[in-house]
Chains A and B, each alone.
Chain A
């Protein structure tokens, strides 16, 4: 499998660093952002396949960031991560085009599965876009 590029967006440094370390150990190319704004900036300058996005962040929250990402790069897949489940924001997130909405804590194997599926979806969409040029 081709390596894919992940962006982890979470304001909690410890969580972000830990998950990045573990993903790197699995040979995944991964970068981190500590806010929605920083994530958007990074998306402007680098290519990412899947963004893992914390829902609750100070300033620009996850839902707002998701909306901005989907506007900027509709084919970047976004997996929302949430500490406490809010059904309403889950529905909102899915409606805004998130790939999945996942409760913390998430087992790394499960997250890897979801990352792979999100990546596969992105590849299918890119492929479809190429065919219809």
Chain B
């Protein structure tokens, strides 16, 4: 939908270049009308001239209707995009509610139990009380982590630029997932540009991105397949990082929302749907861009472009 530019407002004049053959034949008819009028019969000339005008006008009107229809389609597309966004917000809220409700339920259980203990037993069973309070603290921590992750989207810690070797960073993260990949008969192929310059960027943030994308690729494949991770020099000030898998692929209708927070296709309880949105947020903060290309049944390719030097814009 991104490439769908609004058609220009209806122009009052016929746009001759849009239908050269038709307007051209109208022109030829007009020429014929003059010739006929002058050399054969003025009446015949007049009739032909009328025909020429009629054909020209008809085409012009059809063209205007076509453009009006295009305009309408564009509006509908816009509305669709808006409603998709609203749906994403709804899903975000639902995801958040679900994630927070679980610890809340446990906290409530424990609090009620403690209240019961306080009222019933004298003296209070301290070990029991302490166990309950510990559980409550644990659940509060769990909730706080969810909100902290969410806040990462809004209030973002400033990246720290340091010299780093991306090939090495990629190698480290591949090593981390290698065992799990092996167990699932997934081959990881690395294709690392030997002439890749040293980057000035935020290493821990990039590790997070690479690890998340590798994990996604593993999950998309499930068992048996190949993950290819590639680095390349894209120009004097840009490098590329590509992670390709031979997994299940992403349905076309999910692609526009794949980087939305809490958007997930995994069953509830498996993954919060934050992984890709975190990656997206990080890459943007690092001045880069992340895109995805995917085909169901064929696999997905995530492509990242990163500046060689992180310039500190105000974030």
A101–B172 alpha-carbon span in the complex (Å): 9
Which of A95, A97, A101 meets B176, CB within 8 Å? A101
Q: How many A-B residue pairs have CB under 8 A?
A: 62
Is A103's CB under 8 angstroms from B176's CB?
Answer: yes
Is A94's CB under 8 angstroms from B211's CB?
Answer: yes
Given contacts A67-B141, A91-B215, A103-B175, contact A98 B204 (CB under 8 A): yes
Given contacts A87-B218, A121-B160, A128-B158, contact A101 B207 (CB under 8 A): yes
Is B160's CB under 8 angstroms from A95's CB?
Answer: no
Q: State how many angstroms separate the Cβ of B168 from the closest Cβ of chain A.
A: 9
A38 within 8 A of partner (CB) = no
B212 within 8 A of partner (CB) = yes
Is B178's CB under 8 angstroms from A117's CB?
Answer: no
Which of A96, A100, A120, A121 meets B172, CB within 8 Å? A100
Which of A86, A87, A91 meets B208, CB within 8 Å? A91
B177 within 8 A of partner (CB) = yes
Interface size bracket, B side: 20 to 34
User: In the complex, what residues of B have CB within 8 A of residue A117's CB?
Assistant: 162, 164, 203
Given contacts A99-B203, A100-B203, contact A94 B178 (CB under 8 A): no
Is A85's CB under 8 angstroms from B180's CB?
Answer: yes
Is B160's CB under 8 angstroms from A125's CB?
Answer: yes
A17–B257 alpha-carbon span in the complex (Å): 50
Given contacts A85-B180, A101-B176, contact A90 B211 (CB under 8 A): yes
Q: State how many angstroms separate the Cβ of A87 from the closest Cβ of chain B.
A: 5
Is B178's CB under 8 angstroms from A85's CB?
Answer: yes
A47–B211 alpha-carbon span in the complex (Å): 31
Q: State how many angstroms separate the Cβ of A86 from the closest Cβ of chain B.
A: 8
B179 within 8 A of partner (CB) = yes
Q: Give 1 or 0 for each of B284-309: 1 = CB within 8 Å of chain A CB.
A: 00000000000000000000000000
A98–B172 alpha-carbon span in the complex (Å): 14
Is B162's CB under 8 angstroms from A85's CB?
Answer: no
Q: Give 1 or 0 for each of B223-265: 1 = CB within 8 Å of chain A CB.
A: 0000000000000000000000000000000000000000000
Q: Give 1 or 0 for each of B166-203: 1 = CB within 8 Å of chain A CB.
A: 00000010011111100000000000000000000001
Q: State how many angstroms separate the Cβ of A41 from the closest Cβ of chain B.
A: 18
Given contacts A85-B180, A98-B204, A99-B204, contact A124 B162 (CB under 8 A): yes
A69 within 8 A of partner (CB) = no
B102 within 8 A of partner (CB) = no
Given contacts A87-B211, A87-B218, A117-B162, contact A100 B176 (CB under 8 A): no
Q: Closest residue to A113 on the B side, CB-wise? A: B168
Give A103-133 interface residues, CB cut-off 8 Å to B: 103, 117, 120-121, 124-125, 128
Residues of A within 8 A of B (CB): 67, 84-88, 90-91, 94-103, 117, 120-121, 124-125, 128
27 interchain pairs, CB-CB under 8 A: A67-B145, A84-B179, A85-B175, A85-B178, A85-B179, A85-B180, A86-B180, A87-B176, A87-B177, A87-B180, A87-B214, A88-B215, A91-B208, A91-B212, A91-B275, A94-B204, A94-B211, A95-B149, A97-B204, A98-B204, A100-B204, A101-B211, A117-B164, A120-B162, A121-B162, A121-B204, A124-B160
Residues of B within 8 A of A (CB): 141, 145, 149, 158, 160-162, 164, 172, 175-180, 203-204, 207-208, 211-212, 214-215, 218, 275, 278
- Please give me the 3 A-B residue pairs with the lowest Cβ-Cβ distance, nearest first: A94-B208, A85-B179, A85-B176
